[in-house]
Amino acid sequence: MTSALRSTGILADSAIRGLFESGRLKSEAALDADQIQPASLDLRLGAKAFRVRASFLPGPAHLVADKLDRLQLHVIDLSHGAVLETGCVYIVPLMESLDLPADLAASANPKSSTGRLDIFTRVITDRAQEFDKIPAGYSGPLYLEISPRTFPIVVRRGSRLSQIRFRKGNALLSEGELLALHETDTLVASETPNVSGGGIALSIDLKGTGPDGLIGYRGKHHTSVVDVDRKNQHDIFDFWEPLFSRGRNELILDPDEFYILVSREAVHVPPLYAAEMTPFDPLVGEFRVHYAGFFDPGFGHAPAGGSGSRAVLEVRSHEVPFILEHGQIVGRLIYEHMLDAPEGLYGSGLGSNYQAQGLKLSKHFRAN
């Protein structure tokens, strides 16, 4: 499988490995075997977390370390694991650092499992004026801001909460290109795709599954900790309240509660493309799909075992209760060209946790 020769696009797995080999990407330890994904790299926490008074951006004249000297409350050793409490803000130096060439930029996002645990994370660079955006030519360390919102968490050196994607130039598909690709590859399972704002819309499924119509979960308060590095470790019902449609096909979002819901449409990311979920226009209602997420090439791709894969949605209401109705648009997918074809696809022997998913909590929970 090869792609047409392109001068702009998202770097694939082999090119990310090449960044390490050339010294453009560095790490204080050898890479984990599954750290490089088809179109992204998982970032690992370093050995220290700084509890700080408030979130911040360093601004064009300052290093992150300058702000930490002034804002830190105390330092936490992550070598053997430590608890990060809800409602607190932590800054963690990452094991990976960058020395990007002048034609290569990057962006970061929470990993899927991070978003499903309601852990607010953002990557920060020295002299940054934006979160999660790494300008072309950046050389320096990376830091991760972490703020657990619903559950306290256990993390340690090497835990992976965020991921980074590298791009040359403008790789976004235009609305015309999106429609043409949808015609040939069915990006979302909809007979009447809504393409606007540079993306293709996703709507909410509130009919649910099963006799009672399971539509999602609401996070419980005052739970025990979630260990972010342990799969199938925690009982679902100790942390989540299941929600049922009971034929009403709607859900009232309570202010500042956290919900796991699912898209009505199946999603498909063809092998030569990558996608990202972005919030729908906030003017449509007082809620937000809380975490934007990366979709690697091959997500929902039938030959990679992904037929019928839905997008799991992490949703919060704001200051007022808000009624969501079945089929209401809640987000959009933007698609980008890959610079080259990845060697592996999401789900194809990579240990991918969410291929062929429906409504699914993070990998940390088990159903008894």
pLDDT at 138 over 60: yes
Instruction: Tell me what pLDDT residue 2 has.
Output: 43
What's residue 277's pLDDT? 87
pLDDT at 1: 42
Q: How many CB atoms lie within 10 A of CB 190?
A: 16
Question: 9-168 in CATH: which number?
Answer: 2.70.40.10
143 close to 91: Cβ distance less than 8 angstroms: yes
Does residue 303 carry a pLDDT above 90? no
CA pair distance 310, 223, nearest whole angstrom: 28
pTM over 0.85: yes
In whole angstroms, give the CA distance from residue 250 to residue 236: 23
pLDDT score of 196: 87
**Tokens standing for residue 43:** 């970032």
Q: Residue 283 above 80 pLDDT?
A: no
* CA-to-CA separations, 175 to 9, 179, 194, 198, in angstroms, rounded: 17, 6, 10, 6
For 8-36, what is each residue's pLDDT tens digit?
Answer: 999 999 999 999 999 999 999 999 999 99
CATH number of 175-337: 2.70.40.10
Q: Quick one: CA dihedral 345, 350, 352, 355, positive or negative? A: positive
Per-residue pLDDT tens over the stretch 35-85: 999 999 999 999 999 999 999 999 999 999 999 999 999 999 999 999 999
247-253-130-311 Cα dihedral, nearest 10 degrees: -10
User: How far, in whole angstroms, is CA 239 from its chain's centroid?
Assistant: 21
Domains 9-168 and 175-337 fall in the same CATH topology: yes
> 197 or 155, which is more confident?
155
Write the pLDDT tens digit of every residue in 208-260. 877 778 999 999 999 999 999 999 999 999 999 999 998 888 999 998 899 99
Domain spans of the chain, in order of start: 9-168, 175-337
3-state SS assignment for residue 108: strand
Q: Residues with Cβ < 8 Å from 272, sequence gap 6 or more? A: 3, 297, 337, 338, 341
Task: Give the dihedral sign, CA 240/312/204/357.
Answer: negative
d(CA 91, CA 295) in angstroms, rounded, equals: 26
